[in-house]
Structure 1
Amino acid sequence: MTDTLTQLRAAFTDAGVNGWMHARDIDSGTEVDYQGSQLVSTASVHKLPLLIALHERAAAGDIDLTEQVDCPPDGRASGPTGLAAMADTARLSLRDLAYLMMAVSDNASADVILRRVGLEAVNRTTARLGLTRTHALHSFGAMMASVKEDAGPGGAQALADPQVIARLRALDPAQSNRSTPRELTQLLATIWRDTACTPDHCASMRRLMGLQVWPHRLASGFPFDDVHVAGKTGSLPTLRGEVGVVQYPDGGRYAIAVFTRTASTAAIVPAADAVIGIAARIAVDTLRGKGTAHTS
């Protein structure tokens, strides 16, 4: 394990990031922990607890996932994908809104669901699952609004200034939605073990996570046709993360959570994205008893 931690430290250093990660074999419970108890701002990763809360209420009969919702453009959360990027009123079912929330990380769809489910219901769900350090403080629209407010009159261009980045409340776990990599792999394990909700609802959640379109983080570490990756990304200025499950054809299932912070304020830092897949591969190779991990 010491060799694994050395490899992880070198990978994060080479990428120019600070990194925090946790991985666990879902069936054996074996772990790889690299500062996995560190509190992190979850950004869009917190759409996963929201998804579980939605399905929990649906399983209880409180919500019908086929319910149609009108989604006018006024008041939508900002974002580059899904409803957040659309100009006109849309009418979608709650389950299709959940698809947009998970597959393309649509903030507007997430906030429609959050208004229907309730913020405290999300926190009750994570508490029920034993996640004592995972907490939702605000909607995704509020998160993006706080970034805009904290950036000040300089707008998006001000986010190139490290002093502006330092004052973003969204990056402070004490002032934002938060969790730890360790608790997030615990959360993933409940979905894959069918204990987060009923088995049929857990299967639906696994399906949605498998439809995520972003291949440049976690999935990049597993470029094999017979290895399945299902995940959820989260991003804020200088913060990149993804949580997910990697499943091998022999049935091995590995829950992984990786978060990074860059000193660079650039919006595009390929190495900071790629190291999430690299770190995940190192951890999974260790859990599978491969000895020296491969990062290709």
Structure 2
Amino acid sequence: MSARTTGAVRARLRAVFTDAGVTGHLHARDLDGDGEVELGSDTPVSTASTHKLCLAVALQRLADAGRLDPTEPVDVPAQGRTPGGTGLAMMRDPARMSVRDLLALALTVSDNTAADVLYARIGLAAVNQEMADLGLRRTVALHTTRDLLTAIDEDCDGDQARLLVDPGLLARLRVLDPARTNRSTPREMTELLAAVWHDEACSPDRAEELRSMLGLQVWPHRLASGFPFDDVRVAGKTGTLPTLRHEVGVVEYPDGGRYAVAVFTRAARTAVNQPAADAAIGTAARLAVEALRAPRGNRV
């Protein structure tokens, strides 16, 4: 892309984020070419639940190395589960599931309990080591999901409802500071996606398993909202924390075009429901992908 065209795309991306009341960072890359679109793509960001993708890749790599059996059954007691609104986190009875089925829940419905059972199984250090081995040295996990939720509660002195009426509390939240929580950059997250789609992150069979799981994610209101077409496939993983709305994923067109996109946003408002911020993720992703797909000389 020419410098002039890149500047035009960036201006449109900034306008999308500004109109939605958020700041945004984005990286998009053509998985079968050298094109890219970026806006603050090397800025460290708090990853929230998009870091479950890193957990997933680490698990598959450990399975490839013979250090983990994906069919291994794991008992999940009814008590002591990590809070969350989906999957095992909301269920009441003891469960037994395989490692790979727990992973499916962590990716498709962002199940916090399933993710933390897996974190406990392999450890944060193993996740970080696998990312480093892939060359993603700015992608680091400091917290399990329970740790993230506990940190929010501690920083709010046990009263998270105050976040809705006291925006000054945001400055105290460790989970919003990339230096003190799970972090990456938009560029490294698309690099990780590229490794999965190119069968380089793990063996081809396990990479295909990850692609399938990501394609079954249930949330259509962020990245997928920018591509409301029956013949365009979107596979992704969302992330959400107070003021943060993210998604990383891959958009695949029927003509074979494949594009990895990572969008990270932070809102000025502390409201729990922020549909404008959610929609901005899809709009920004569409603009970036359209720029990558446009014939050279016609990109805007």
Give TM-score, length-normalised by structure 2: 0.95
Q: 1:239 aligns with which of 236, 239, 244?
A: 244
Contact 1:40 1:179 in 2 (8 A): yes
Contact 2:163 2:170 in 1 (8 A): yes
Helix, strand or coil at the partner of 2:25: strand
Once residues 76 and 238 of structure 1 are traced to their aligned partners in structure 2, the CA distance between those partners, rounded to angstroms, is 24
Once residues 170 and 29 of structure 1 are traced to their aligned partners in structure 2, the CA distance between those partners, rounded to angstroms, is 34
Once residues 174 and 263 of structure 2 are traced to their aligned partners in structure 1, the CA distance between those partners, rounded to angstroms, is 21
The alignment's C-alpha RMSD in Å is 1.1
Correspondence list, 1:155-174, <5 A: 155-160=159-164, 161-174=166-179
CA offset at residue 109 of structure 1?
0.3
Whichever residue aligns with residue 186 of structure 1, its letter is: E
Q: 1:83 aligns with which of 65, 81, 88?
A: 88
Q: Please state if 1:269 is matched with 2:269.
A: no
Q: Please state if 1:105 is matched with 2:105.
A: no
Question: 1:258-285 deviations in whole A, cap 9, x for unaligned?
Answer: 0111111100011000000000000000
The gaps in structure 1 that reach 5 residues or longer are none
Helix, strand or coil at the partner of 2:23: strand
Once residues 200 and 74 of structure 2 are traced to their aligned partners in structure 1, the CA distance between those partners, rounded to angstroms, is 29
The gaps in structure 2 that reach 5 residues or longer are 1-5
Correspondence list, 1:131-170, <5 A: 131-153=136-158, 155-160=159-164, 161-170=166-175
Correspondence list, 1:216-227, <5 A: 216-227=221-232
Correspondence list, 1:1-296, <5 A: 1-153=6-158, 155-160=159-164, 161-289=166-294, 291=298
Give TM-score, length-normalised by structure 1: 0.96
- Answer with 270-279 or 140-149: which moved more: 140-149
Whichever residue aligns with residue 156 of structure 1, its letter is: Q
CA offset at residue 292 of structure 1?
6.2
Once residues 128 and 266 of structure 1 are traced to their aligned partners in structure 2, the CA distance between those partners, rounded to angstroms, is 38
Runs of 4+ in 1 over 2 A off after TM superposition: 290-293
CA offset at residue 233 of structure 1?
0.3
Once residues 73 and 80 of structure 1 are traced to their aligned partners in structure 2, the CA distance between those partners, rounded to angstroms, is 15
Contact 2:108 2:214 in 1 (8 A): yes
Contact 2:152 2:160 in 1 (8 A): no
Contact 1:227 1:246 in 2 (8 A): yes
Helix, strand or coil at the partner of 1:62: coil
